[in-house]
Amino acid sequence: MKIVLAAGKLSVMDPTVVDDWQLQWAQPAETILHSTAAQPAILVGEGHGDFKMTNGNFRITEQRHSQIGLPWVRNLEQAGNTVQFDLAPTPTSPSYLQLTLHYRTAGWHLDFRPLAGQLNRFWLRLLAQPSDRFYGAGEQFSAFELSGRRFPIWTSEPGIGRNKQTAVTQAADRANGGGGDYYTTNYPQATYLTSRHQLVHLATSAYAVLDFQDQRFTELSAWEIPTALYLGHAETLAATVALNKDWFGTQPPLPDWLLSGVVLGLQGGTTAVKTAVTQAHQQAGVNIAGVWTQDWVGPLTTSFGKRLHWDWHLDEKTYPQWPQQVRRWRQQGIRYLGYINPYLVTDGPLFKTAADNQYLVQTQAGEPYLIDFGEFECGTVDLLNPAAFHWFQTLIETRLIGGGMSGWMADFGEYLPTDARLYGNVDAETAHNRWPVLWAKLNRAALDATGTTGDVVPFFRSGGVGTQKYAPLLWAGDQSSDWTPDDGIPSAVTGMLTTGLTGNGLTHSDIGGYTSLYGVKRSKELWLRWAELAAFTPVMRTHEGNRPAENFQPNQDQAALRQLARLTTIHRHLLPYFRRVMAENTATGLPVMRPLMLADEANQALWHEHSSFLLGNDLLVAPILHPHTTQRTVTLPAGDWVHLWSGRQLTGGQTVSVVAPLGQPPVFYRADAADQATFKALCDKEN
C-alpha cells in the first residue's frame, strides 16, 4: 500500500496490501516511511524510566518491558485529504494504535491514538540516505550537523565543559555530576531538518530521542505515545527553515532602544553600578542601551561564586535610592533591566506566601518540594496552577515592570523533578519539558497585561516547543569563559545558529561567557573577541560571570572600554539593517543569524560550517574563536562580496584568508546589498 502526497492531495494506492505500506512525496519522488512485516516502521511498548536530578543535571536510566512492531494495517478509511487506519502486531491480534494522516500546507500531519491502555513507549523510523545531513534538535552547542549521533530531548543544565574527555568536565563530574555531554542543553526540541529539505517534528513533551546513528533510517522515540508527527517539505533549505514559523510561531522585532548600544551587566549596589556606568559612558564614550543588575534582590555567595537571593524584591540595603537612579538613566536614554526565575528561596517571605496558598510544586506527601541549587534551597512555583500562575505574573507586573525594568534575564525553568506532585495531578515526567514553555508564557502574559509587549524584553535560556511565540529573545546560556569548542565562545556561535534552525530567530550570548570553575579564567583577549562577536548579533550584553573578581572586567582597562565604545558605535550604525532582518524573521521565520549553507546549498564546504554565519542575507561574520589569532580563512557563498574593513572586492565560491587584528573580525557584505550604503559608510568611517 502506498499513501502518496501529490499536488496537495493524499491518495491511497493498492490498499489491499496490509503488511507493507509506505508514505511518499510525489514531488520530489521520495519514500519517507516504509513499513513491512520484517521491518515495521512503528513500534510501541512499555517501560519505566528513572530520573535522578542533581543541581539541574540528570542521570536517566530505563527498564524496558516490551517493544512490539506494528506492521499490519486494518480498518482503512479515506475522506478527502484524510486517511485513517489501525496498526496491529499480527493479522489476528487486537489493534494497538490508530494513525490518522492529514495533508496540511507543505506536508503531512500524522496523529496517533493508542488503542491499548498501558502503552508508554514509541519508536518511529523514517527512511534516510547515507548522504543525508541533519540539523536542529533545538539549541545544540557541540554538534551543528547531527549525523552519527543520538540526541536525547530533555531540558537540563548543559553542564560545565560538556566534553567527557576534558579535565574541566571530569572535575565537574567528580564534584556533583555536573560536567554535561555533547547533547545536554537548556533548550532541546524534537525537531530537525534534512539536506533533502524535509522538516520533521515529533509532538511530545515526554523524554524523547532523535537517533541519527544508522544511515538507513532516523529513529524517533518517546516515553509516551506522541500526539502527532509533522512532516514538511520545501524547495530550498531556507524555505524549509521558514516552515518553523507556521508550526511554532516567531518573534516580533526587538525595540530600537535595545539595539542602540550595549546592555552592561553590573552588580554590587547603587554606588558601584553608578560609578561603572559613568566611567564607561562619560569617560570612554560607550553607547549604553541599558544597565542590568542581576543582584537587585541582594547577593548570596556560595562556593560556586556570586549568586542571588531569590525572593524578588528590591534589596534597598544594597541599592539605596535605586528608583531615583533608574528614572535619571531613563531620561538619559539608558534603560534598566533585572533578573528573575520561577523559584523562591526558603528564607524569604514570598516562599511562605506561596507555601501557605499551595502555589508551590509539592512532594507526593503534600509538602513544598525543595530543590537544592547548591548550598541553598528553593520551592518551585507551580506554573500549572492558575492561581499560582496569576500570582507570579502579578509579581512580575508590579515589582519588575512597575519597578522600572525594561527587560530581565528570565532564567532557569529546567529543574522540575519527575517525582513531584503538580496541580491537577499532571504527570511531572511529561510536564518537565513543558516547564520552560510555561515560564515563557507567564512572562509574556505579564507583558500583555501591562501593554509593554514589544518594548519590554525578557530573555530566556531554556525552552521547548512553543517558546518561539512567547519569548522575544533568547540567550545562549552559561558558556565557560574560555575558547573550548564544546562550552566556550565557539559553542555560543553553534548554539545561536542551531536554535535559529528550529524557529528562534532572535538570540545573543553573554559577552565574555559566564562560568569560571576548575581553573578557567576569562582573559582580556577572550573578552574583546566576544565583544566583537556580539557587535554583529542582535543584542550586545555583558556579564561579570560567576566569579567577577577572578576574571577580566572591562572597567579594569581603559583600552578595553575604548574598544567597547567603538563596537557599540558599529552596532548602533547597523540599526537600520537590524530592523530589516528582524522584520524578515517575523514575517518569514528565517532567523537573523543564519548558517552559510542557507545562502549557497551548492557549495558542499558550507554544509558543516558553523564558525561563521550570515547576519540576515547580506552580512557575513567570521568571528575569531581561537586565542592568539590575527588571521583566519573564510569560505564565501556565491556572489560578489566586499570586505567591510578594507573595501576589498571578492568573488564568492572561494576560500580567502583575511587579517583580523583585535577589533576587526572578518566581516563581508554583498556588493549588491540593499543596505550597501550603510555598510560602505561604516567602512569609510573606520578608514
**Active site amino acids:** 411, 414, 478
User: HSE (CB half, 13 Å, CA atoms) of 622?
Assistant: 26
**Which phi and psi angles does 598 have, rounded to 5°?**
-65, -25
Report helix, strand or coil for 488: coil
- CA pair distance 350, 218, nearest whole angstrom: 47
Cα separation values, 56 from 159, 211, 372, Å: 9, 24, 9
> If we measure between CA atoms, which residue out of 335, 336, 328 comes closest to residue 256?
335
> If we measure between CA atoms, which residue out of 438, 566, 454, 436 comes closest to residue 506?
454
> If we measure between CA atoms, which residue out of 64, 12, 15 comes closest to residue 43?
64
Provide CB contacts within 8 A for 643, sequence distance 6+: 650, 658, 666, 667, 668
Pinpoint the alpha helices (H) of 461-592.
467-470, 489-500, 524-535, 558-573, 575-588
> Amino acid letter at 384?
L
Helix (H) or strand (E) holding 530: helix 524-535
Question: Residue holding cell 513544598?
Answer: 368
> If we measure between CA atoms, which residue out of 336, 454, 459 comes closest to residue 401?
336
Q: Which three cell numbers stand for residue 130?
A: 547515507
Q: Which three cell numbers stand for residue 164?
A: 567527557
- CA pair distance 598, 614, nearest whole angstrom: 9
- CB neighbour class for 18 (10 Å; exposed up to 12, middle 13-18, buried from 19): middle
Burial 619-642 (b: 16+ CB within 10 A, else e): bbbbbbbeeeeeebebbbbebebb
Expressed in angstroms, the distance from the first to the final Cα of the chain is 67
Pinpoint the alpha helices (H) of 357-474.
386-395, 428-431, 435-450, 467-470
- CA pair distance 494, 600, nearest whole angstrom: 19
**Which phi and psi angles does 537 have, rounded to 5°?**
-125, 170
Question: Residue holding cell 503531512?
Answer: 108
Question: Residue holding cell 566534553?
Answer: 163
Question: Residue holding cell 491502555?
Answer: 117
Q: Are 287 and 572 in contact (CB under 8 A)?
A: yes
Q: Are 609 and 617 in contact (CB under 8 A)?
A: no
Question: Residue holding cell 560545565?
Answer: 160
